[in-house]
Amino acid sequence: MEGPGFVIGNIAKGKDLWDRHEEIKSIWRALEKSSVLLKAPRRFGKSSIMYHLYENPQPDCTVFFHDTEGMKSPEDFITGIMANALVDSRFKKFLKSTVKWGKNIFKLVEEVDVAEVRIKIRDGIKDNWQEKGLELISTLREFDRRIIFILDELPMLVQNIEKKHNPQTAFDFLHWFRSVRQMPDMEKIRWIVGGSIGIEHILERIKAGTKTINDFHILSVGAFSIEDGTAYVKALLKNEGQLARIQPAIIEKILDIVGAPVPYFLQILVYESLNEMRLKQRTLNKEIIERAYFEKVLGPASRTYFEHYFTRLKDYYDEHCEHVAKRLILEVARKGKVDKNHLFKLFRQTCKGKLTDEIFSHLMTDIENDFYVSYSVNTKTYSFTTNVLREWWLRYYDLVEE
């Protein structure tokens, strides 16, 4: 059987999506009774799982996939749903016979391209997006198949709406979206909502509260187990490196360097190690792996692998809150393991009275969600989940002022 290949930063499809069978089964089971909120830090493979569900639907399902990251308004969201529906001939025929206000728009499909249809749809709903969107989705109860809408990066959509419009519009959208999911007789319509940023932070900022998402069945995508990580690294080395025999110590070295076996980081290290092996024209060994890690993975040429973990803080917070968040992350990176009370004292010291104590809890939740820092309930300490990000942070950003 052909093994997985490198898909660094891209959606893993087919053989490249390694051992996510249990997560996929859990999602389909949950969809029997509710919609699903799929949570994972960036680069954990969430989008790949969602795309697998899109490409491999259950026999009685019609599935639509939407990447909402580029959308900036409720109108964009509704337009995206409708435009995607036009791709499916059965769905298109159904909508043309049921959606009264959309008949004129659907007539345009044979006359102009889809891009212009999207413009017409957006113009038609911009003054009444709540009513028109509700009308569209409420008709789906008559469709003869189950319908699954997959929405990747919903938190980013809400954040974009807030930035382009205002917090009230984002607030209204979230409440409207919940009302759509709660409409009577909609058992055949389910939503899979994904997000690689902490949605709780956004909900708090626009005063929406978790009540707008408390109807979702929440599932988390984690790192591989050690066993699965071992098998994955072995398969990558065999397939991409054409290595006939792989010593267990080589795999152990890769796992030890990376830390928690996140597919994205494993791929990067294996890729750079194989390149170094070929450059040196030697058998892959621990020395080559270490050199690849410190000189290539953590080197200047590879900053694009990790830069978004730093720059995205500017998207989250104002300048002062951004500085505090960076200081807290850096403290965890410097010390390796940090007591919660110590971080709280550092928070107070750094924010200089400009932030309430309650913000500390929200900041640490965001940091856990998005920056691979984990909290131990038993020891009440924070530590980096992955060695890669910790050492990258120390190498390039150990300059945050006290």
What is the model's pLDDT at position 1? 46
Q: How confident is the model at residue 138 (pLDDT cuts 50, 70, 90)?
A: confident
Q: How confident is the model at residue 176 (pLDDT cuts 50, 70, 90)?
A: very high
Pick the CATH number of 20-220 from 3.30.750.24, 3.40.1010.10, 3.40.50.300, 1.10.357.10: 3.40.50.300
Question: Where do you find CATH 1.10.10 in the chain?
Answer: 306-397
Tell me what the mean pLDDT of segment 125-133 comes to.
85
For the stretch 31-90, pLDDT in tens is 999 999 998 888 888 999 999 999 999 999 999 998 887 799 999 999 888 777 766 677
Q: Which CATH architecture has domain 306-397?
A: Orthogonal Bundle (1.10)
| 102 has a pLDDT exceeding 60 | no
What is the model's pLDDT at position 111? 52
What is the model's pLDDT at position 113? 62
In the β-sheet with 189-195, what is the strand arrangement from edge to edge? 61-67, 146-152, 189-195, 36-39, 217-220
With pLDDT > 90 as the criterion, what percentage of the chain qualifies? 53
| pTM score above 0.95 | no
Q: How confident is the model at residue 379 (pLDDT cuts 50, 70, 90)?
A: very high
What is the pLDDT of the chain when averaged over all its residues? Answer: 87
For the stretch 312-324, pLDDT in tens is 787 778 888 888 9
Question: Where do you find CATH 1.10.8 in the chain?
Answer: 226-304
Tell me what the mean pLDDT of segment 148-160 comes to.
90
Closest CA to 260 of 146, 343, 383, 349: 383
| 124 has a pLDDT exceeding 80 | no
For the stretch 197-216, pLDDT in tens is 678 778 888 999 889 999 99
| CATH code, residues 226-304 | 1.10.8
Question: Where do you find CATH 3.40.50.300 in the chain?
Answer: 20-220
Lowest mean pLDDT across 129-138, 223-232, 292-301: 129-138
Q: Higher model confidence: residue 159 or residue 110?
A: 159
What is the model's pLDDT at position 114? 65
